[in-house]
Structure 1
């Protein structure tokens, strides 16, 4: 069975809110006043700490940017200078609307759980502090990061696919090839039984309803564990199979274009059909064709249909279209098969058989030359 996977909201139950922490705030205020009454200079540090703690109870606080460390295992692996500059421009124009989310770590420093672009953009602008919400360290930081990004950040499809399947293999204990096989097998069975709609409805169900729904679809044991993870992340398994899973097997040149040049996932999947196997050329030649086509797609900002037309033209240069099936030959084959029976040949004269033999020999020779070519 899948490990217990808390809902996104559960991940932040530790974020202290004023509405349910009034008594704690009162206690902290009393502690500040008590320390002040002692009038001891040595206690000034403690008062500062309590002030900061009090601010945390009230809501988000200003945190020194230089005390924040990025999360090395965050799902977003594609962070371009263009995206950072774009975020910086928005911050400069509108200010910081949403606080970043931090968890305490490493003696007074903080680890970034959500807000990589906001934090990077603030650094570009030379900000000294950034508004942040401090939450207790979750039990599973990698999973919390993924849930946060799925909920609030626009990951490109490659980063999203890699992060999701990393979490899935960790949560279920299945290897990637096992996940792929299981996903394809179950979806094929569900499609055959016309139950795709029933599976899709489970995306908005609660955990108990999801488990019962999967059992009704005869998805049990390891298959159920896998599908529960998909549903926990709010992912339609059919969409995962069609749109996310293929991202993992893209050629490296296309992955690089997604990460560094902003190539869209749908365009990348279309360009991936320019493979060595399809074009019947070497891997190196195929890569050159893909890179050239990718540059044209990006430069001309082609749509997906326009990209497919471009690919069709490239394939036409390499692939010779197979001749269509001849109706005439089909008719001749039928006549030879049914008309030249053993009885018919036995009743023919010697001269007729010799003439037939000569004609067939000549045609067989012509056919041999065509096949040989």
Structure 2
């Protein structure tokens, strides 16, 4: 959104808006909890009455408690205990929902093969429960471990020979939140420092919570070492959690907060513009002075120099192409985080993860994220600390 565009201070009241929202929420909850209940409890399992009643009461109770826990955990009062329970339940029910749908496909296959109930439904129940349990245990381990390093080589034709081999480490979507991950944060910093980077970039979504609430978890970022620059831009979650305070806090930790601005790094007689823009949601956040502004970010930079741009969302690549950026670094997608959620992510973003080309000059690298958001699970979407080695064109 350009500076000149107006942002509505207060949304217009629309009749029935609250009722439609409540209907959507109720429908989603009914599907998320109803499909697993149907598959595991009802269906053709022919469970004893006690098992059926207990299972039904359990599903109904959790379904009713879930929105209350989510509101308490992520609402204005921000109770971390309730948020941990709600986020975990969301992850569990998502996996059960997905595999219950696939389990019903298996049920059709077994029906065609001549397997009757209750054997057919109990085979499906065992398969869904077993696969879900394995994926949740594995997915939790994947979410909580220190991210592995993903090494990527990027050739930038306009890069000067003095910058050939420049090492850029990308962190993004750390999402310090209700689960205490101070130890994890120290582990990430240790990995980054072992890579001996020239530049370390953080492309936003540092935390879910205010600086005062997540200060200890973010503190190890102050120990990150880089030969030339440590740079940061806001993500969309900063605009739920005191964006300007995070900008100021990152500056206090020794990071260059690229709030629609740039710095120049030089090595071997050659220079690189390292720029950053606010997240694309910034203009609508109501935070004074925050909006995505590529012209301000690149203002005064020598147009002959190559440009490395930090922008939280891959969708911001349109502005990068228009302004002749050589390489944009982004996060936001989490690589989908929990399969098959990546299909929904692709409806909103042009890229899910990895290196891609856009236009004649511009390349985009999208990280799967260093941390996780919400449910403490990663299923078929591992986290990463990205080491990008930049290369000049070979003669």
Q: TM-score, normalised by structure 2?
A: 0.18
TM-score after normalising by structure 1:
0.19
Higher helix share: 1
Structure number, greater radius of gyration: 1
Identify, as 1 or 2, the structure richer in strand: 2
